[in-house]
Structure 1
Amino acid sequence: MNNRVNGPAPHSASPLPPLGSERLASVAARHRAHFETSWRTRFLAGGVIAILLALAVVAMIRLEVTPDRFLSGLSRLGTFVVQMFPPNDEGKFWFFVKALAETLAIAFAGTLTAAVLAAPVAFLAARNVIPNVFVRFAVRRGLDVIRSVDALIWALVWVGVVGLGPFAGVLAIICVDFGALGKLFSEAIETTDNRASEGVLSTGGNRIHRIRFALIPQVLPVMASQVLYFFESNVRSATIIGIVGAGGVGQYLAELLRVLDLPPLGVLIFMILVTVAVIDVISSRLRLAIIGQPQRP
């Protein structure tokens, strides 16, 4: 009895020995289905890859994508870049600064307004807030319809409605971001922890208290992080929509490209790149601070 009690520890307590070639072959033989891929699976995978490659080739042929055109395009692009040097603003520097500030204002006003409008609507699209499937379906499809139209199309629409200028650009960004942020906010609300909501309801709280004290504290950092990211993206979008007359620096870009006045175009592009880089650094640090992650060096 003593030998049994004081004997060596059970074999399960010791670490498993590494698998040798013979042991590995034995395991593979017993579990052949996990180590071998059937010919049917290989055939299907190869067929899918072949179909995708064939579609890509057909698309390139129909769209007239040829190596000659690509190489000639790169050559012309190189010529444009060379002609931008040395950069020369030709006395338009402060006009560029004013237009760039207008672009930032368009992006900021559009993003902030869209976030304020999308936040309450997102609760109507969340499954854990609105159990009525018909209401939720209608709100979700409405958000999908709005965000399915590109910002450039919205800008063209609003230019025709309210006229040229930054107001049309702000309205275009509001429309696009309202649908996108509403969808993202609703998904963030649906992923919240239900235990906080149950705790609020168990203490006598109603649905409003549940949203205020259980859901909003959980999703607010995520919402703020998403709004910052959209602002960063909308700075670039506001640059593009200005080409169709929706205000901002895009009007100067379109004019300089139309007449191939490349030295001031180089100055303007450099200003846009610096502005976007600075905003990217600041917004990244703010997002990390909001969601509670340590700052990266």
Structure 2
Amino acid sequence: MTSVLCEELSVAQAEQRYPDIFVISWRRRLSQGLVLGLSLATLIYGLVIFDFSPMRIWDGLGQLGMLVRFMVPPATEPTVVWEFMKAIFETLAMAFIGTLFAALLAVPFAFLSARNVFRFRLGRFGIRRSMDFLRGVDQLVWALVFVRAVGLGPLAGVMAIIISDIGTLAKLFSEAVEGCDRHPSEGVAASGGTTLQCTRFGILPQVLPMFISSTLYIFESNVRSATILGIVGAGGIGYQLSERIRGHHWEEVATILILILVTVYVIDWVSGKIRGRLIEGS
């Protein structure tokens, strides 16, 4: 009985001390209602303008089933498979080169974007907004730009990956730098180290595992992205896929899709093993 009274008393004291937690004001109710109403209105508007209907989805599934029947069995001719394998290697090379150069170029921008490293606020603001611009434009748009600039081929895809991923990796790297422990760098500074030495020996060893992990993840993503970039003329397996779809060679499309799935699975598996050894120490 005493414990129940104590609990009731503590709840009553809490209600008096923190009324905003226990009593929902009309302003809060109004804001919640506005958010809910706006979300519902956006949902209904999207369903209307997209002509969403169960019958349309059912018809689409029927068309998809017909395409799947055309894909069976996949093309297995050695010359065709070898041609697609070369395109897969080209796609992997695009993703690897683009990710590697993007990661190397993102490191200095990451340190210049971190508050605890670069104290000049105006310069840091300019670098951060530049990185926002680079990652704010989709890779597909960059690919279209570089296809126009340097012509068709893998070079346009590599340039698109580099430009887009510099902004993404710089953002991830800078957050890791800002979240690291400052005491090691303060110890290096107390020993007479310069700013560069404080960064090299006090910060970099802490954030390097995060750098590696983020780069590996972006590489996995770029393997899939490079396939899409090939569709707009950036080479690789995406170009082969686009050509087969236009020509209605669905059995070859099935072979390409199988090779892409196997490649992505192998890349994910190898990347996980590398992260386990370099980051987790397993």
Greater mean alpha carbon deviation, residues 115-124 or residues 69-78: 69-78
Residue in 1 that maps onto 2:52: 65
Report the AA paired with residue 86 of structure 2: K
Q: Following TM superposition, by how much is the alpha carbon of 1:26 offset from its aligned partner in structure 2, in angstroms?
A: 5.2
Greater mean alpha carbon deviation, residues 219-228 or residues 80-89: 80-89
1:258 aligns with 2:246: yes
Residue in 1 that maps onto 2:225: 237
Q: Following TM superposition, by how much is the alpha carbon of 1:36 offset from its aligned partner in structure 2, in angstroms?
A: 4.2
The equivalent position to 1:225 in structure 2, one of 201, 213, 221, is: 213
CA distance in 2, matches of 1:18, 1:231: 62
Residue in 1 that maps onto 2:102: 114
Q: Following TM superposition, by how much is the alpha carbon of 1:288 offset from its aligned partner in structure 2, in angstroms?
A: 2.9
The equivalent position to 1:88 in structure 2, one of 69, 75, 83, is: 75
Structure 2 residue ranges without an equivalent (≥5):
none
| Overall identity of the aligned pairs, in % | 45
Report the AA paired with residue 74 of structure 2: P
Deviations 1:32-73 (A, max 9, x none): 448845363445434422320111111221222222222221
- Cα gap change, 1:74/1:36 in structure 2, threshold over 3 Å: closer, same or farther? farther
Greater mean alpha carbon deviation, residues 158-167 or residues 27-36: 27-36
Residue in 2 that maps onto 1:11: none
1:165 aligns with 2:153: yes
Residue in 2 that maps onto 1:38: 24
Residue in 1 that maps onto 2:62: 75
- Cα gap change, 1:18/1:180 in structure 2, threshold over 3 Å: closer, same or farther? farther
Structure 1 residue ranges without an equivalent (≥5):
1-16
CA distance in 2, matches of 1:231, 1:93: 25
Q: Following TM superposition, by how much is the alpha carbon of 1:87 offset from its aligned partner in structure 2, in angstroms?
A: 1.3
CA distance in 2, matches of 1:196, 1:111: 30
Q: Following TM superposition, by how much is the alpha carbon of 1:269 offset from its aligned partner in structure 2, in angstroms?
A: 0.2
CA distance in 2, matches of 1:63, 1:94: 41
Structure showing the higher helix proportion among its residues: 2
- Aligned alpha-carbon RMSD (Å): 2.1
Residue in 2 that maps onto 1:13: none
TM-score normalized with structure 2 length: 0.91
The equivalent position to 1:212 in structure 2, one of 193, 200, 208, is: 200
CA distance in 1, matches of 2:151, 2:110: 31
- Cα gap change, 1:29/1:75 in structure 2, threshold over 3 Å: closer, same or farther? farther
Report the AA paired with residue 191 of structure 1: G
- Cα gap change, 1:129/1:29 in structure 2, threshold over 3 Å: closer, same or farther? closer
For 1:92, what is the secondary structure of its paired residue?
Answer: helix
Does the 8 Å contact 1:28/1:35 carry over to 2?
no
Deviations 1:232-289 (A, max 9, x none): 0000000000001101001111111112211111111011001101111111222233
| Bigger CA radius of gyration | 1
Residue in 2 that maps onto 1:195: 183
Does the 8 Å contact 1:169/1:242 carry over to 2?
yes
Moved over 4 A (4+): 17-20, 22-30, 32-37
Report the AA paired with residue 137 of structure 2: V
CA distance in 2, matches of 1:259, 1:29: 74
Residue in 2 that maps onto 1:101: 89
Report the AA paired with residue 70 of structure 2: Q
Report the AA paired with residue 42 of structure 2: L
Residue in 1 that maps onto 2:116: 128
